[in-house]
Amino acid sequence: MRALALALALAALLAAPASADQRSEQPPLGPLGQTALAAIGSAGADAALQRIGENLAMLAAQERIERHAKAEADEVGTRPGPEPETPDYRNMDPSELPPASAGSNGTEHTLSPQAKREGIFARMPAGADPKTTSTLLTGIALPPPTAPEVVKRVIDNANMIVGRPYVWGGGHGSFYSYGYDCSGAVSFALFGGGLIPRPATSGELEGYGEPGPGKWITIYANATHTWATIAGLRWDTSGTERGTGPRWHVDTRPTEAFVVRHPPGL
């Protein structure tokens, strides 16, 4: 009964908003509320509610942080000052570049309007096993209740930087950065599970852990790009030539050109 009451409360929070004259025509639950109840009913109510609650709380915290950062940026933007200089990496000696991993940052692809609309719903890769696959809910990954705690921590850490911009060398000088490149994003996720002691470049990730795919986490690395699958979802920064920044994806990408590794035991 406690789980059912919490589920109904959560669904009410997720209900689609409607004006007073529309409420009589709206179903009692919005799409996210219906999806949440379906997920709760199919796999361990208490565990599912706990994970959903934790991630919704993280979303709220991230929104507050972003609002605060925007307010600071707006305030700074009103002050006169010199234009910041952007280094021209094309004419720099490679030894002078910041530690990074991706020049091309993967294959360019453009999101369709339909894909953008689907982003507001809970999704999972087609044919995926819900016992080992995360659910993608509005850009945030909800790990399956059966996932090992270390995998949940990796996912939680990755969720913290969803939406950050792509920045060459981002996440290498420090785990905490305004933006991230591909190996910086993968390193930050692994760091959340205590699986890596410091940021690693693509070249270092080519030799990380053990060879071959893992059950829960698989890392794909080569000289130009790095990405990973974590509990069935793709964790990647590719999107445009300069990258879109760290995000979760339900689709995969070709793996033939990459060295395949996984953390020991995972």
pLDDT of residue 124: 87
Q: How many CB atoms lie within 10 A of CB 138?
A: 15
Mean pLDDT, the chain, as a whole number? 73
Q: What is the pLDDT of residues 167-211, one digit of tens each?
A: 888 888 888 888 999 999 999 999 999 999 999 999 999 999 999
Q: Report which of 176, 169, 182 is spatially closest to residue 245, judged by C-alpha positions.
A: 182
Confidence of residue 154 (pLDDT cuts 50, 70, 90): very high
pLDDT of residue 59: 59
- How many whole angstroms separate alpha carbon 55 and alpha carbon 39? 15
- How many whole angstroms separate alpha carbon 90 and alpha carbon 87? 9
Q: Report which of 228, 175, 170, 169 is spatially closest to residue 197, judged by C-alpha positions.
A: 175
- How many whole angstroms separate alpha carbon 180 and alpha carbon 229? 17
Q: How many CB atoms lie within 10 A of CB 194?
A: 10
Q: Domains (ranges, CATH) in the chain?
A: 2-74 (no CATH), 99-262 (3.90.1720.10)
Partners of residue 211 on adjacent β-strands: 261
Q: How many CB atoms lie within 10 A of CB 34?
A: 18
Q: Report which of 59, 46, 42 is spatially closest to residue 7, judged by C-alpha positions.
A: 46
Q: Give the DSSP letter of residue 259.
A: E
pTM (2 decimals)? Answer: 0.59
Helices (H), 78-195: 113-118, 149-160, 182-192
- How many whole angstroms separate alpha carbon 252 and alpha carbon 266? 19
Q: What are phi and psi of 89, to 5 degrees?
A: -65, -20
- How many whole angstroms separate alpha carbon 136 and alpha carbon 154? 15
pLDDT at 94 over 80: no
pLDDT of residue 184: 94
Q: What is the pLDDT of residues 23-67, one digit of tens each?
A: 444 444 444 444 444 444 544 556 555 556 655 655 565 566 566
In the chain, the amino acid numbered 257 is A
In the chain, the amino acid numbered 178 is Y
